[in-house]
Amino acid sequence: MKAKFINMFASSIGPNLEDLENYVPEDPEIFRFGVQVTVGAEGEEGVDSFDIKVVSPKWILFNGTEKIFMGRHYLIMLNYDFDRLKNFIVSYIESCTGNTWKEVADKVGRLGKSEYEDYEPFDPSGP
């Protein structure tokens, strides 16, 4: 099974962006915004979404908490370039393979937070 990139758009993280392709940060060296990508299995219907935070190194310098910063689900770019960002995301996603969708989605989940990350199905019998 192989992942297939479906779509990419701005998420609710950071500034309200309507057009990622033409976005120009106020400060080209300090920026942070969110991207949501939808991913499906090649040849199958259905998609899952993944949220990624895109930041510059200087944003990290000015916003790290007490000089500690966790990087899970962050992409760090020196400067914003839509084509470079999209090409990186598509290339990474389409390199993810596995025997099941869970295996594939777990690999894609290293890039961005899955809508199902930390999901626990309801067990009516209790703990």
Tens-place pLDDT, residues 52-109: 999 999 988 887 666 777 788 999 999 888 999 999 999 999 999 999 999 999 999 9
What's the first-to-final CA gap in the chain, in angstroms?
Answer: 34
**CB of 109 closer than 8 Å to CB of 12:** no
Q: What is the pTM of this model?
A: 0.85
Q: Do 88 and 75 touch, CB atoms closer than 8 A?
A: yes
Match 């190194």 to its residue by tokens.
57
The ranges assigned to domains in the chain are 3-114
